[in-house]
Amino acid sequence: MSLSRKQVALARSFLFVPGDRPDRFAKASASGADVVILDLEDAVAGENKGQARAHVKEWLAAGNDAAVRINPPGTPWFEADLAAVIRLGCPVVVPKAESVPALSDIGRRVARKCALIPLVETALGIERASEVCATAGTVRVALGNADLASELGIAHDDHTALLHARSRLVFASAAANLAPPIDGVTTSITDTAVLQDDVAHARRLGFGGKLCIHPAQVASVESGFAPTEAEQDWAQRVVEAGDSVTQINGQMIDKPLLERARRILATKDGQ
């Protein structure tokens, strides 16, 4: 059974693994990541695309769960990639998401068989964030911070420089009633402090998960996006107080805060 839309919507950690490295598929699946993304795009050289697609099809056909990052529309591999994921019914990550007609066509062709995760990684994609999020079939959007930073001529790990882009995706996702967006990658694999800082920054802005490039990053991402014990305790007390306006620890609690408390309790287990 493939990953459901609800599982994609609630997931915190998304782990990339190159599609031409089938020896890593099982390790990625056992990493604890909520969603493994088998990558047919950037991680795979052109001459290996066909072989990678065959590996991915074999793995998923055997009953394993994963999303697939296909090659973008307009590339020589797009049609074969899309046909494969439609047959498999798995979530599909669409890179370079900026063309609303192209995304709409993909959404029409998958016909709810596949949850769409547009990867927004260009300036044009950020400018069209509202339209991208509103595309039929989209469950969540993700930020491609490395590609976007390269286009803008800035550092991919500069929180200030990418603040606008991140906020745009958060607002556009909320306006389209999508799950909170997925933050981009942290390229530092061994420096846990850098990763934790990136996670805290993204969560503070309203992101709900993060793309990972190594299994060692999964645990920090999972814990960083999970509600803290203090948040869970606050949420439990708010919900138990009922629907009426009340006070808890000197803070007025009304309907918006009650809704936030319910969301915290609904997502505390990540399922």
Which single residue is written with the structure tokens 């550092």?
Answer: 155
pLDDT, position 231:
65
Residue 185 CB-half CA count within 13 A: 17
CA dihedral 211, 215, 220, 225 (to 10 degrees): 40
Residue 32 falls in which region: left (phi positive, over 0), alpha (psi -120 to 50) or beta: left
Residue 103 tokens, joined:
């995304």
Q: Where are the domains of the chain?
A: 5-226, 227-271
Interval 204-248: pLDDT, tens: 999 999 999 999 999 999 999 987 666 666 667 767 676 665 666
pTM to 2 decimal places:
0.88
Cα(246)–Cα(141) distance, integer angstroms: 36
pLDDT of residue 227: 77
Beta strands 246-248 and 251-253 are antiparallel
For the chain (length 271 residues), average pLDDT per consecutive 10? 87 97 97 97 95 97 96 96 95 97 95 93 98 96 97 96 98 97 96 96 97 97 83 68 66 69 65 44
Tokens of 137: 């079939």
Q: Which CATH architecture has domain 5-226?
A: Alpha-Beta Barrel (3.20)
Place of tokens 């920054």: 201
CB burial of residue 180 (10 Å; 0-12, 13-18, 19+): buried
